[in-house]
Chain A
Amino acid sequence: MDVIINGERRTVEPDTTVADVVRSLTTATSGVAVARNDEVVPKADWNHTAVTDNDRIDVLTAVQGG
């Protein structure tokens, strides 16, 4: 199925979770947050939140700024 991860269209396996998406981008375990279709997915839910077709997943972290 196709999803948009950090603005880029990607094809992922069925049963992919939000946790899988995060692991594909970073090894960091803290300092990272996820939005699925603009809604925050709490860290505690990453493992059991499945990604569905056409989801927009944004994985954010702290960077230099301000």
Chain B
Amino acid sequence: MTTAPFTTAPPQTTAETDPLVIAGTQFTSRLIMGTGGAPSHHALEAALQASGTEMTTVAMRRVDPTTTGSVWDILRRNSIRPLPNTAGCFTTADAVRTARLAREALETTWVKLEVIADERTLLPDPVELLDAAEQLVDDGFVVLPYTNDDPILARRLEQVGCAAVMPLGAPIGSGLGIRNPHNIELIVEQASVPVILDAGIGTASEAALAMELGCDAVLLASAVTRAHEPAVMAAAMRDAVRAGRGARRAGRIPVRRYAHASSPRAE
């Protein structure tokens, strides 16, 4: 009798079956990268390539005639979509002006909206944020707001027309992980736009957790760019986001207080 060789189903490429869709645009990768904190353009480019990202944030600043090379060139030659942010803006007026400049410079209507309350915490100012979001939506922008992990604020941002909501796991650059997973779950439950966990991720397990909680994507920068080996961490984050998404879709087993045998009982 011939034994058929073991056959395994082809690995399900979640890319084909499970795209991330933001404002009608499909992405294969659910990892959105930031660029801040990289030790060099070379290290940044290697990390972006290893991450598999298709969209990456940049900040807008005054031209410095003494610098060579640019993050804009890196994104273009790697076909990575730029997501300009309004980092460093403390008021609605600042953020709206910066978004309009970014639209002009980078020829995109997409913006990661950040309106920060203070330098020490870099936490979003919810009042200014909502106001800026509404103005930018009215001006035709695709607005992806960096927000507190507040389900009510997330709902309000969605109501004014934001294309996604991006709650923080913990303060920017802190690496504290997801401090209030319950709130992230509440945001996911009610949202009808993508939820992108933005800020606070320190290591791969936290990126996986974000996806297991039901987030649609993860946005991170420092965890990769400030890692000892940025490209190696970028690959770890890519895998973690895939693994977390897979686990979420698979449906985890319920948590039990006592054992539940996985082998038949001995007679």
Chain A's interface size range is 20 to 34
Which 6 A-B pairs have CB atoms at the shortest separation, nearest pair first?
A65-B59, A33-B105, A66-B57, A31-B72, A66-B85, A62-B58
- Can you show 27 pairs from A to B with CB atoms below 8 A apart? A7-B62, A25-B65, A26-B63, A30-B107, A31-B72, A31-B105, A32-B105, A35-B101, A38-B97, A40-B97, A40-B104, A58-B101, A60-B63, A62-B58, A62-B59, A62-B70, A62-B71, A62-B106, A63-B71, A64-B35, A65-B34, A65-B59, A65-B61, A66-B34, A66-B57, A66-B87, A66-B112
Residues of A within 8 A of B112 (CB): 66
Q: How many residues of B contact A (CB 8 A)?
A: 36
A27-66 CB mask vs B (1 if < 8 Å, else 0) is 0101111110010101100000000000000111111111
Q: Is the CB of B114 within 8 A of A62?
A: no
Q: Smallest CB-CB separation from B102: which chain A residue?
A: A33
- Kindly state whether residue A6 has any CB partner on chain B within 8 Å: yes
Q: Is the CB of A32 within 8 A of B85?
A: no
**Is the CB–CB distance between A63 and B104 below 8 Å?**
no
A14 vs B60: C-alpha distance when bound (angstroms)? 29
